[in-house]
């Protein structure tokens, strides 16, 4: 299968480019094709004539989106619509990577794929607008919502915790936001499997298990063998430009409907730590 990946230089994109199971993968970064430009998108897609387009390119700086709204809209909303328009023209299928941040986080049970979008920050709004715009152009597109990504080759929560643990005896981490950590390699495998199965519509794809950021940090420190003490705190102690959903757990029913199941996030964390360096030798224990 011929697959073109926009955002191939990002954390998820690099994991996607390692999913070579007989597929012909073409990876593009922003230097190869800026999705804000319809002409660049068209040239890139016309050159490879893919059967599937996986769009993981995005402006993912959630706080940065608050102060750079025009850029966020151009990259996260208009860019995907540009890709959808070209996909429709050549008859290619499209899988768009979206986010749990399309929801407001005010509920206490997992979000289903048909729950109303109601983002509380600019990043979430631009992704929600992209979902709507894509489905208007390509009603049979596949939209993969995911959450709390971590993996090698990019900035992520476990990496931040381990860097802090290397220099601090104690860490305060918020315990009033809950979600599903998702390992990029597992997500990448699921995405390629969804392409092979001809998936349509919205699919929620996260690793199994629910936790708070405090729980996540505690497990990172434990598995890394660090001695740093992790203490729970509340979000009001760490005010940030963009509001975060307090609960953004995504139901896995839609993923299971495609015959796919994800490992527990704690299991994937062990893989991450091993890949980054055995027992994280940079953490002083």
Secondary structure element (H or E) that encloses residue 231, with its range: strand 229-233
Q: Which DSSP symbol is given to 215?
A: H
272 is catalytic: no
Of 165, 205, 202, 203, nearest in space to 182 by CA: 205
Residue 101 CB coordination number (10 Å): 28
CB 250 within 8 A of CB 100: yes
Instruction: Count CA within 13 A, CB hemisphere, residue 2.
Output: 9
Q: Which residue has the tokens 């954390």?
A: 11
> In degrees rounded to 5, what are phi and psi of residue 84?
-60, -40
Catalytic residue among 101, 123, 183, 280: 123
Using CA of residue 248, residue 206, residue 162, residue 127, what is the dihedral sign? negative
> CA distances (Å), 134 to each of 34, 106, 138, 267, 273, in order?
18, 26, 6, 34, 36
| Residues assigned a catalytic role | 123
């Amino acid at each position: 299968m011929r697959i073109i990946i926009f955002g191939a230089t990002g954390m998820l994109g690099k994991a996607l480019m390692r999913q070579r199971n007989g597929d012909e993968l073409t990876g593009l970064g922003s230097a190869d094709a800026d999705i804000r430009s319809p002409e660049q998108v068209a040239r890139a897609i016309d050159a490879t004539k893919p059967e599937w387009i996986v769009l993981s390119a995005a402006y993912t700086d959630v706080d940065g989106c608050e102060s750079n709204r025009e850029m966020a809209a151009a990259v996260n909303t208009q860019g995907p619509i540009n890709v959808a328009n070209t996909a429709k023209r050549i008859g290619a299928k499209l899988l768009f990577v979206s986010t749990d941040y399309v929801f407001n986080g005010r509920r206490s049970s997992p979000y289903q794929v048909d729950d109303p979008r109601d983002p509380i920050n600019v990043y979430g709004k631009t992704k929600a607008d992209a979902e709507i715009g894509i489905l208007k152009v390509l009603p049979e597109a596949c939209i993969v919502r995911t959450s709390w990504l971590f993996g090698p080759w990019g900035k992520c929560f476990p990496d931040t915790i381990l860097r802090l643990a290397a220099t601090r005896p104690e860490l305060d981490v918020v315990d009033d936001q809950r979600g599903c950590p998702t390992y990029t390699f597992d997500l990448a495998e699921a995405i390629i499997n969804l392409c092979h199965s001809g998936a349509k519509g919205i699919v929620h794809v996260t690793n199994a298990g629910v936790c708070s950021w405090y729980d996540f940090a505690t497990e990172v420190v434990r598995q890394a063998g660090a001695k740093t003490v992790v203490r729970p705190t509340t979000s009001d102690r760490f005010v940030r430009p963009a509001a975060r959903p307090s609960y953004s757990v995504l139901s896995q029913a839609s993923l299971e409907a495609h015959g796919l199941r994800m490992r527990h996030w704690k299991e994937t964390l062990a893989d991450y730590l091993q890949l980054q360096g055995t027992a994280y030798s940079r953490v002083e224990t």
